[in-house]
Amino acid sequence: MPDAQLLAAQDLRLDVNLLDYVILALYFLVVLGIGFAARRAVRTSLDFFLSGRALPAWITGLAFMSANLGATEILGMAANGAQYGLMTVHYYWIGAVPAMVFLGVVMMPFYYRSKVHSVPEFMRRRFNGATQLLNASTFALAQILIAGINLYALGLVMDALLGWPLWVSIIVAAAIVLAYITLGGLSSAIYNEVMQFFVIVAALVPIVVIGLTRVGGFSGLGEKVKQGVLGEGGLHTWAQTGGTDNPMSANWIGLVLGLGFVLSFGYWTTNFAEVQRALSARNTNAARLTPIVAAYPKLVIPIVTVIPGLVAVVLFGNLGKDGGPTYNEAIPLLMNEFLPNGVLGIAVTGLLASFMAGVAANISGFNTVFTYDIWKSHVNGDHSDEWYVRLGRIATTGGIVAGIGAAFIAAGFSNIMNYLQSLFSFFNAPLFATFIIGLFWRRMTAWAGFWGLLSGTVCAFASYILYKTGVLDFGTELNASFWGAGIAFVVDAIVSVVVTLVTTPKPQSELRGLVYGLSDASLSDDALAGDAAWYRSPVILGAGAVVLAAAFYLPFL
Amino acid sequence: MAAPQRLFDIRRVIGGLFLLYGLILTVTGLFDGAQEIQKAEGIRINLWTGIAMLVVGGAFLLWERLRPADAPASSDASSGDEE
C-alpha cells in the first residue's frame, strides 16, 4: 500500500469558483443526510455495528472496494504509475484480485457463518481471549494512526489545492465523518462508500479522457512513454523480472510470493476494516460475493489511476525530479491542467470524499473492535444492548479525537508516520499465517494462536526497525516490506507449530464451524431465492475474476 | 415506505445526486466559453460529463423502480436478537 507521501504546496492552487464550491457543499449535505436517515434504522447494536446484516452483495461489494479506495491509494497508485509505469498493475491484478477471490470462496463461510462481529472475535472463538485482545489492540491502534495519517494527508491536499489552512480541513473533515458515523453507524459508512465510489469515478474519467486526447490516444501515450524516462520498461509488467533490471527493481519471485501472496493475502483476508463490509451482508452467499463483486471494479481501476500517472510523467518532464513536483502530485497537476470549473468541482469533491471514506472505514472498524473485543469481552460484558450502542458512539467520538491527535503528531513528525504507514502495510502478514494454519490444522492450540501472533508481530516490527536503523540491508522500501512480511509470516508459522506440539488442543466440539472439515450442522441454510443462479455463484464469479486478471496481463507482458 | 426500521435505498440517493450534478454540469457546459473548451483539449467536458451523469443517475432511479429492494426471505426484524 502506498505511503502518504506529502504534497508540496507550490504550483498546485486550483482556480476554483463558486460553482465548484456549490458542488462540494451539495455533497456534504447529502453525506450528512445519509447519516440522519440511517439513524432511524439503528435500533440494536447489530444495526449499528453491522448494518443489521441486511445488505445485498452489490452494496457490500462496492463498499469493500471503496474502503480501500481512499485518496492516499488513488494519489499513491497514480504516483506509482508515473514512477514504475505499467508494473503498477501488479498491485491490482496479482496483489489484490486473487486474495479477494480466496477470501470470498474459501474463508468467508467461516467468518460469516460463525456469526462473529469482528476478526478479533473469530480469533477468540478459534483460539482464546488473549489472542483476541492482542489482535484487537494492535488493530485498534493501527486504525487510529492510519486515520490520523489520512486526515493529515487530506489537510495537506486541501491546503495545496484550495488554500485551506491545514487544521481547518482536518477538523471539518473529521467533524463530518464523526457526525455521520455516530448517527448511522456502519450503514452510514457503507452507503457513503458506495456513493463515493461513483463520484470518484466521475471525477477521474474526465481526466483520463482529456489526458489521452492530449497525448494522442493509447498509441501516442505508449510512444511517448517509450521515449521518456521510463523507456520500454514502463510498458511491460513481467519483462525483465527474471533479474531486477525493471522499473520496480523487483524479481518475479518477490512479486508472486511477496506481493501476490504474503502482503496481499494478509491485507485482504484479515484486515477487519475490509472484512467488516462482508460481515454486514444479508446472507452467506452475499457475504461470499462481497469481495468477489469488489474484484471486478478492482480489475479496471488502473485505467483511472495508472493511466493518469503515465500521462503526467509524459506531460510534466520534471515530475519526481529534484525541484519538480513529487510523483504524488500527478493527479492534482492534471486536474489543474485540464479541468474547467464544474468538472473541477466534481474532482475536488471526489478527492475529498475518498479521503473521508478512508477515515470512516478506519473509524467504523475501530469502534466495533473497541466495543466488542476490548470493552465487552475484557472489561465489562454485563450491560444491555443499548448500552453498547451508546458505547459504540462514544468510541467513535474518542476514535475521531484520537485520530485528529494523530494527525497533529503526523504534522510534527511526518517521518515517523511514514514509517508507521509502511510498517502497517505488512502488519497483517503474521495474522494471516495464524489464521490460515488455524483454519486448516484442527490440532493447532489456543496458546499457539497467541504466541504465534505475538512473535510474528514482534518480528515484523523488529525487521523493519533493523532495516530503518541500517542493521539489515534490504535495498528498497518495497523489498524491505516483502522481507518483513515474509519473516513475520514464517516466524509466526514456526512458533505456532512448536507451541501446538507442547500444548493441548481444543476439543472438537468447540471448533465446529471454525475449522476446515468440521462444519456446524446446527446452522440452517440461509440461501435466498435466486442464489442458485450461476451469476450469484461465488466460485464461478471468482474464477472469472482470476481468469480476467490473467488475461489482462497478456497485452502488457 | 415499509416498516420504519428498514434502511432507505441508496440507489435513490446516488440517482438523485447524479441527476443534480448532471443537471448543473450540463447547463454549465452549454454556456462554456472558448477558454473552458480549450483548457480541456477542445472537448466540451462539462457538457459530456453532465450528460453521462444524467444517464447514470437516471439508470439508478430506473433500477430502483424496476427492482425494488429484494424482500428478505427470512425474518429480518428478528435477526438482531438471535445471539
pLDDT in tens, A88-103: 999 999 999 999 999 9
Are B36 and A59 inside 8 Å of each other by CB?
no
Q: Which of A82, A406, A412, A463 is nearest to A247 (CA)?
A: A82
B75 lies within 8 A of chain A by CB: no
How many CA atoms does the CB half-sphere of A133 hold within 13 Å?
11
Query: Where do the DSSP E strands lie in A76-229?
Result: none
Which DSSP string corresponds to A298-318?
HHHTHHHHHHHHHHHHHH-TT
Residues of B in contact with A33 (CB under 8 A): 13
The average pLDDT across A269-298 equals 93
Pick B13's closest partner by Cβ from A34, A54, A339.
Answer: A34
Q: pLDDT band for position A3 (50/70/90)?
A: very low
The average pLDDT across A344-360 equals 91
Which DSSP string corresponds to A152-171?
HHHHHHHHHHH---HHHHHH
Pick B43's closest partner by Cβ from A54, A209, A282.
Answer: A209
Q: How far apart are the first and last CA of chain A?
A: 23
Q: How far is A528 from chain B (nearest CA, A)?
A: 6
Are A194 and B10 inside 8 Å of each other by CB?
yes
B17 lies within 8 A of chain A by CB: yes
Are A209 and B52 inside 8 Å of each other by CB?
no
Pick B41's closest partner by Cβ from A30, A202, A210.
Answer: A210
Are B46 and A340 inside 8 Å of each other by CB?
yes
- Looking at residue A102, what is its pLDDT? 95
Q: How far is B41 from chain A (nearest CA, A)?
A: 6
C-alpha triplet A527, A528, A531: angle, nearest 5°: 80
* pLDDT of B53 above 90: yes
The average pLDDT across A237-250 equals 80
B30 lies within 8 A of chain A by CB: no
Are A338 and B39 inside 8 Å of each other by CB?
yes
Q: Which of A32, A33, A62 is nearest to A196 (CA)?
A: A62
Distances in Å between the alpha carbon of B61 and those of A504, A517, B22?
A: 58, 45, 14
Q: Which of A7, A144, A9 is nearest to A72 (CA)?
A: A7
Pick B74's closest partner by Cβ from A199, A210, A526.
Answer: A526
pLDDT in tens, A15-44: 888 999 999 999 999 999 999 888 888 888
Pick A340's closest partner by Cβ from B14, B17, B40.
Answer: B40
Q: pLDDT band for position B6 (50/70/90)?
A: low
Size of interface A-B (CB pairs under 8 A): 121
* pLDDT of A10 above 50: no
Pick A23's closest partner by Cβ from B24, B36, B42.
Answer: B24
Residues of B in contact with A51 (CB under 8 A): 7
Instruction: Say which residues have a Cβ less than 8 Å from residue B7's Cβ, sequence separation at least 6.
Output: A38, A41, A51, A52, A54, A187
How large is the angle between the packed helices A302-315 and A217-227, nearest 10 degrees?
50
The conformation of residue A476, written as its DSSP 8-state character, comes to S
- Looking at residue A445, what is its pLDDT? 94
Residues of B in contact with A198 (CB under 8 A): 14, 18, 56
* pLDDT of B73 above 50: no
Backbone phi, psi, residue A380, to 5°: -155, 115
- Looking at residue A140, what is its pLDDT? 94
Grid cell of A519 as nine digits: 462444519
Q: How far apart are CA A1 and CA A424, in angstroms?
A: 9
* pLDDT of B60 above 50: yes
Grid cell of A100 as nine digits: 479477494
B80 lies within 8 A of chain A by CB: yes
Q: How far apart are CA A144 and CA A225, in angstroms?
A: 39
C-alpha triplet B11, B15, B19: angle, nearest 5°: 175
How large is the angle between the packed helices A71-84 and A129-162, nearest 10 degrees?
70
Instruction: Say which residues have a Cβ less than 8 Å from residue A350's Cβ, sequence separation at least 6.
Output: A196, A199, A200, A201, A202, A203, A204
Residues of B in contact with A125 (CB under 8 A): none
Q: Is the ipTM of this complex over 0.90?
A: no
B20 lies within 8 A of chain A by CB: yes
Are A54 and B7 inside 8 Å of each other by CB?
yes
- Looking at residue B5, what is its pLDDT? 52
Q: Which residue has 521518456 as its cell numbers?
A: A228
Distances in Å between the alpha carbon of A346 and those of A173, A323, A459, B24, B54?
A: 17, 30, 44, 11, 14
Residues of A in contact with B39 (CB under 8 A): 338-340
Q: How far apart are CA B33 and CA A154, in angstroms?
A: 32
For B44, nearest residue in chain A (alpha carbons): A340
* pLDDT of A50 above 70: yes
Distances in Å between the alpha carbon of A229 and those of A225, A238, A449, B49?
A: 7, 19, 48, 33
Pick A44's closest partner by Cβ from B29, B43, B80.
Answer: B80
- Looking at residue A521, what is its pLDDT? 64
Pick B40's closest partner by Cβ from A44, A51, A338.
Answer: A338
Residues of A in contact with B80 (CB under 8 A): 43-47, 52
Grid cell of A534 as nine digits: 450461476
Are B72 and A37 inside 8 Å of each other by CB?
no
pLDDT in tens, A154-203: 888 888 888 889 889 999 999 999 998 999 899 999 999 999 999 999 99
Are A54 and B72 inside 8 Å of each other by CB?
yes
Q: How far apart are CA B24 and CA A23, in angstroms?
A: 9
Higher pLDDT, A468 or B20: B20
* pLDDT of A147 above 60: yes
Instruction: Say which residues have a Cβ less than 8 Å from residue A426's Cβ, sequence separation at least 6.
Output: A262, A263, A266, A460, A481, A482, A484, A485, A488
Please count the helices (runs of H) and the strands (runs of E) in chain B.
3, 0
The conformation of residue A7, written as its DSSP 8-state character, comes to P
Residues of A in contact with B6 (CB under 8 A): 41
- Looking at residue A482, what is its pLDDT? 77
- Looking at residue A7, what is its pLDDT? 45
